[in-house]
Amino acid sequence: MGGSRSVFTFKQFSLAHGNPGLKISTEACILGAWAHSFAHGKILDIGTGCGLIACMLAQSNPDVNIDAIEIHQEVATLALDNINNSPFNNQIQVISSDIRALSTNNSYDFIISNPPFFSNHLPATLQDKQIAIHDDELNFVDLIASIKKLLKPGGKFAVIYPKEVMDKFENEMGKTGLYVHQFLSIFPNPKSKLLRVICLGSTNKEEIAIENLYIKDEKNEYTEAFKLLLNPYYLIFE
């Protein structure tokens, strides 16, 4: 299964990614980097994939403990291999399970997810890719229910979606006693369409803050905000 697998090397760790599962994306790296300041205590990473976000949070927060759950067995095995080969193997536990069927007495201070988001699309060719990108296995209603069930009172969560799915997520979340604190809108550049939206929320109601992040500027160079955010991780940034 490793025919199209690549290795992404960060400053403090390296991750094999792709086949099985999806490859590391820029927006997933943004989520992991942006969320670190909110992550503390006991953390749950839903749909960990190759282990990217779990490793990013572990690097930035040496005192946290992370449960990284992945529904696809082969992808969970890949995540376990990556984490065992990382400096963070004592901080991260990989769980091969469906979050909807997870039986646990644990509750979490922080929950993070880069979930599947396509619905009503043609199936992907490979089963593992189908699970990774389509929401058949975890739609936004299921994700909200899991967050509501597993988040400690006062705990926070961060989720990333395309705008149209985030709107549905926000609407559904409003019915459950979970509240948005902040939106981060991610744009490839100032003239491009909105790429993704990150939502930060909790069980407590607060004023909503809205921010924009541009990956590159008009000259197609990385913005200072993006470089500052990813500097602790990307080798290309000193």
Q: How confident is the model at residue 128 (pLDDT cuts 50, 70, 90)?
A: very low
Write out pLDDT tens, residues 202-235.
999 999 999 999 999 999 999 999 999 999 999 9
Bridge-based pairing of strands 42-46 and 108-113 is parallel
Write out pLDDT tens, residues 6-61.
999 999 999 999 887 888 999 999 999 999 999 999 999 999 999 999 999 999 99
Q: Do the domain assignments include residue 237?
A: no
Instruction: Determine what percent of the chain is predicted with pLDDT higher than 90.
Output: 78
Domain total of the chain: 1
Q: Do the domain assignments include residue 144?
A: yes
The whole-number pLDDT of residue 154 equals 93
Give the pLDDT mean for 92-116.
89
Q: Do the domain assignments include residue 163?
A: yes
Write out pLDDT tens, residues 172-210.
998 899 999 999 999 999 999 999 999 999 999 999 999
Q: Do the domain assignments include residue 238?
A: no
Choose between 33 and 101: higher pLDDT. Answer: 33
The whole-number pLDDT of residue 106 equals 84
Q: Do the domain assignments include residue 214?
A: yes
The whole-number pLDDT of residue 117 equals 55
* CB contact at 8 A, 181 and 205: no
Q: Do the domain assignments include residue 235?
A: no
Name the amino acid, one letter, at 24.
I
Check pLDDT > 50 for residue 93: yes
Give the pLDDT mean for 135-143.
74
User: Backbone phi, then psi, for 214, in 5-degree steps?
Assistant: -105, 125
Q: How confident is the model at residue 119 (pLDDT cuts 50, 70, 90)?
A: very low
For the record, the structure tokens of 229 come out as 């955010």
**CATH number of the CATH domain containing 169:** 3.40.50.150
* Own/partner pairs, 201-206, CB within 8 angstroms, 24+ separation: 201/156, 201/157, 201/158, 201/159, 201/173, 202/151, 202/154, 202/155, 202/156, 202/157, 202/178, 203/151, 203/153, 203/154, 203/155, 203/177, 203/178, 203/179, 204/154, 204/179, 205/179, 206/179, 206/181
Name the amino acid, one letter, at 79.
A
Q: How confident is the model at residue 137 (pLDDT cuts 50, 70, 90)?
A: low
Q: Do the domain assignments include residue 38?
A: yes
Q: Do the domain assignments include residue 1?
A: no
Residue 219 belongs to what domain range?
A: 6-230
Give the pLDDT mean for 152-180.
93
